[in-house]
Amino acid sequence: MAYSVLELANAFLLAGEISDARQVLADYFANAPTLNDQDHEQAVRMWVDILGHGDEADQRLASDEYDRLVVLSPTDHIKRAMIYYRLGDIAMARDILQTAQTKYPQDDRLCESLLFIYQKMGDAQAGLSLIKTLPKKWVWSRWAGDFAVIAGDFVLAIASYSDATMALEARYGLYDDTPATILSSPKMTDAEGLTIMGVYAELLLARAGAYRGNGQPDEARRDEARAKRLIPDDPTL
């Protein structure tokens, strides 16, 4: 029984034989498969994933090989952009994500990837402009706070982090900032509770930093004390 290219490549990957998997796929594409080949789309994605974890030449080849796909998914755009980011071409990463975001404006992972690039570029205006087009969510408010800090607008940062904390409190029923209360919430598993507790503490610390930047040390100390109750063993506290 003959194995398909995907079966062979997957078998090699599972065995840790990446070079063999790569060769199987290279041979497949050397035979000029048609777009109608049932393995084509999955083979392309496996191929670019292997190349994307290689050296600089492989990564540059991976970015070109995405053109084999007729339609790129949000994940494809993100992976392609991150190749350029790793190669140091942050402007190209931004352009790819901006174009993709116009096609998939409501894809959260795509929006977060673009915000990440704006943050790395220090482009607070672009970040805040994008956030204004997105629905109200605590995660976007958190990003707004981060960009406001970059812009030196601590009043906006305080307001944004406050919006994020209130949205988080409302979503998860966080009426107290003690670990026991959060971990006993019927709305979350213990694992989710630990994650949310960490995020909640990070928001409080971020707002504390904004308070200090705005000359409000008492408010900053209050948030730092609340964060310490949530993550008492954190070395930064």
Interval 138-197: pLDDT, tens: 999 999 999 999 999 999 999 999 999 999 888 877 765 555 566 666 666 767 777 888
Nearest residue to 51 (alpha-carbon basis) of 22, 82, 88: 22
Is residue 184 classed as helix, strand or coil in its secondary structure? coil
Residue type, 144: A
The pLDDT, as a whole number, for residue 187 is 67
pLDDT value for 95 = 97
Record the pTM.
Answer: 0.87
Tell me, what's the pLDDT at 171? 80
**Is-contact 185 173, C-beta < 8 A?**
yes
Q: Are 146 and 158 in contact (CB under 8 A)?
A: no
Residues in the chain with pLDDT values less than 70: 1-2, 175-188, 190, 233-237
The pLDDT score that the predictor gives to residue 173 is 72
What pLDDT, on a 0 to 100 scale, did the predictor assign at position 78?
97
Nearest CA-CA partner of 220 in 232, 235, 237: 237
Q: What is residue 181's predicted lDDT score, i.e. its pLDDT?
A: 60
The whole-number pLDDT of residue 180 equals 53
pLDDT of residue 184: 62
Q: What pLDDT, on the 0 to 100 scale, is given for residue 16?
A: 86
For residue 9, the model assigns a pLDDT of 87
Contact by Cβ (8 Å): 153, 165: no
Which DSSP letter does residue 214 get?
A: T
Domain range list for the chain: 135-237
pLDDT of residue 100: 97
